C-alpha cells in the first residue's frame, strides 16, 4: 500500500557544500510526483535523502525530518527503510552475474528468502507489474545484461517491485532510453501509481507534464514551487518557475 512522505526543513551537505536548503514538502500517498529543475539543483540529492542513499557518500550530512507514513526514516535501520522505499536509477544496472530471474528476485533471495515457489511467484508478479513478463517468460535464465536498454530498465523496476515497497523513487529513469522504451516506462508509471507512491526526477519537462499529478521545481538547492502539475504548467506562480519551464533560463 502506498505511503505518504512528509519532508520538513530538510537540509543536506556534501562536506562543506550546502546542497539542499530548508526543503518543506508533502508527497501524497499514491499518485506520481515529479521533481524538475536544472542540473545541479539538488533534485537527485533530494530523492536520495528519502531512502537515505545520500548517506552512502562519505562526507554527506543531513538535518531535518523525513516522515514515511508518519514515521521518521532517520530513526530507522536504513537497510529496512530501503526495502520499503525502492529506487530505480538513471542507467539500468541489472546484476551482470545473474540471470533475468535471479535479478528479479535478488532483493528477496539475498535477504534470505529460500522458498523456490515463493520466489517464482514473486518473480512473475514483479515482471508482470513491470510489463516485462511476456517478453522474458521463456528466457528467464538468460543473462540480465543480454536484454535491450528498455528491457533492462524494466527489469530493474521489477527487481525493485519484487520486495513490495510502498514508495518507488525514480532518478531520471528514461534519460538513457529511446522514445519507444520511454513511452513504455511512462505507461508503466501510470499503471503503478494506484499501488505505489512514485517520485520521479526528470529533466524532461514534457515527461513531467505527461506522467505526474504533482510537480516540484527545484533551483540551486531550494524548492521554488510545488503544486498540481496542471496548474504549474499552465500558470506557474513563481517567475523563476515560469522562466525555467518556458526555456528562458540562463
Contact positions vs another protein (CB under 8 A): 51, 53, 56, 58, 79-84, 86-87, 89, 91, 93-97, 106-107, 110-111, 143, 145, 156, 159-160, 163, 205-206, 209, 233-236, 241-242, 245-250
What is the distance between the alpha carbons of residues 132 and 233, in angstroms, rounded to a whole number?
32
Nearest Cα residue to 201 out of 12, 44, 6: 44
For another protein, which is the closer residue by CB, 197 or 241? 241
For another protein, which is the closer residue by CB, 156 or 198? 156
Question: Residue 46 CB, nearest distance to another protein (Å)?
Answer: 15
Name the grid cell of 46: 533530494
Question: Residue 87 CB, nearest distance to another protein (Å)?
Answer: 4
The secondary structure element, H or E, covering residue 33 is strand 31-36
Question: Residue 134 CB, nearest distance to another protein (Å)?
Answer: 24
For another protein, which is the closer residue by CB, 131 or 208? 208
Distance from the Cα of residue 187 to its chain's centroid:
15
What is the distance between the alpha carbons of residues 53 and 87, in angstroms, rounded to a whole number?
10
Question: Residue 59 CB, nearest distance to another protein (Å)?
Answer: 9
Q: Is-contact 76 70, C-beta < 8 A?
A: no
Amino acid at each position: 500500500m502506498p505511503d505518504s512522505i512528509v519532508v520538513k526543513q530538510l537540509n543536506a551537505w556534501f562536506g562543506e557544500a550546502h546542497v539542499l536548503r530548508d526543503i518543506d514538502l508533502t508527497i501524497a500517498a499514491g499518485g506520481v510526483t515529479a521533481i524538475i529543475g536544472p542540473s545541479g539543483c539538488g533534485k537527485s540529492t533530494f530523492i536520495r535523502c528519502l531512502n537515505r542513499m545520500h548517506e552512502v557518500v562519505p562526507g554527506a550530512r543531513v538535518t531535518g525530518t523525513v516522515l514515511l507514513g508518519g514515521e521518521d526514516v532517520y530513526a530507522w535501520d536504513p537497510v529496512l527503510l530501503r526495502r520499503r522505499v525502492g529506487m530505480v536509477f538513471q542507467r539500468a544496472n541489472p546484476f551482470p552475474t545473474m540471470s533475468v530471474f535471479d535479478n528479479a528476485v535478488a532483493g528477496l533471495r539475498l535477504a534470505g528468502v529460500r522458498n523456490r515457489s515463493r520466489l517464482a511467484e514473486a518473480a512473475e508478479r514483479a515482471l508482470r507489474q513491470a510489463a516485462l513478463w511476456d517478453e522474458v517468460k521463456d528466457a528467464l535464465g538468460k543473462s540480465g545484461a543480454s536484454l535491450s536498454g528498455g528491457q533492462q530498465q524494466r527489469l530493474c523496476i521489477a527487481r525493485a517491485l519484487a520486495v513490495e515497497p510502498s514508495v518507488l523513487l525514480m532518478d531520471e529513469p528514461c534519460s538513457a532510453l529511446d522514445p519507444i522504451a520511454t513511452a513504455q516506462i511512462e505507461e508503466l508509471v501510470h499503471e503503478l501509481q494506484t499501488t505505489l507512491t512514485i517520485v520521479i526526477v526528470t529533466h524532461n519537462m514534457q515527461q513531467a507534464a505527461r506522467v505526474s499529478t504533482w510537480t516540484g521545481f527545484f533551483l540551486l538547492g531550494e524548492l521554488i514551487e510545488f503544486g498540481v502539475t496542471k496548474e504549474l504548467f499552465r500558470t506557474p506562480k513563481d517567475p523563476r518557475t515560469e522562466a525555467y519551464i518556458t526555456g528562458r533560463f540562463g
